[in-house]
Amino acid sequence: MGWDSAKNAAPLNSNVRVHIMPNYDDPEIEAQWFAERRAEVAEYLKHEGVMYGLIAEEPAWYISPYVSIWAIESNKSSGKAGWWAISGDMPNDYVSRSNAETPREAMHAIASLWKEAAQCMARGERHPTFVIGTGENDRELASMLSSRAKILLEWANDSEIWEENEL
């Protein structure tokens, strides 16, 4: 931008706010993001009435600040994951380890369910096993849920972003 263009820009003392994305490569910022997601997962599982042991200190898989997959200890088998939970720029959700052995399988299972639910919501119907929201704004939520499901399915199917030796 040249000097002439700068004269027409907002003055330096204006109320214009610039959002600067935090540097998630910074270990402190990443640790804070992990802590926030972990707390969200704990609150979500509590709200859902899930009985569980510990939540891992760090996600089993993540792309910050978008998505994290968390290993959740089984309440019945100490030291073993019984659940996978997802958190990030999307709704929180979880799946039993009996339905998904790895974080990648958990992502695929959750995204597939979201895709089905979004299709039902777009038609004004409720999914038989999955509920999100109160039903008042299903059509708007359907679009958001569908876009998150699409991205997660793409990631779940992208072998380049997954380590060969997953959990």
Beta bridge partners of 95: 84
pTM higher than 0.85: no
d(CA 105, CA 119): 21
Whether the upstream peptide bond of residue 11 has omega within 30° of 0, thus cis, is no
Name the helix (H) or strand (E) containing 92.
Answer: strand 90-96
Distances (CA, A) of 160 to 66, 68, 104, 164: 18, 17, 12, 9
pLDDT in tens, the chain (167 residues): 333 333 444 444 445 555 566 776 778 889 999 999 999 999 999 999 999 989 999 999 999 889 999 999 988 777 788 899 999 988 899 999 988 999 999 999 999 999 999 998 888 888 877 777 666 777 788 889 999 999 999 999 999 988 754 54
**Number of other residues whose CB lies within 10 A of the CB of residue 54:** 14
Which secondary-structure segment (H or E) carries 70? strand 67-74
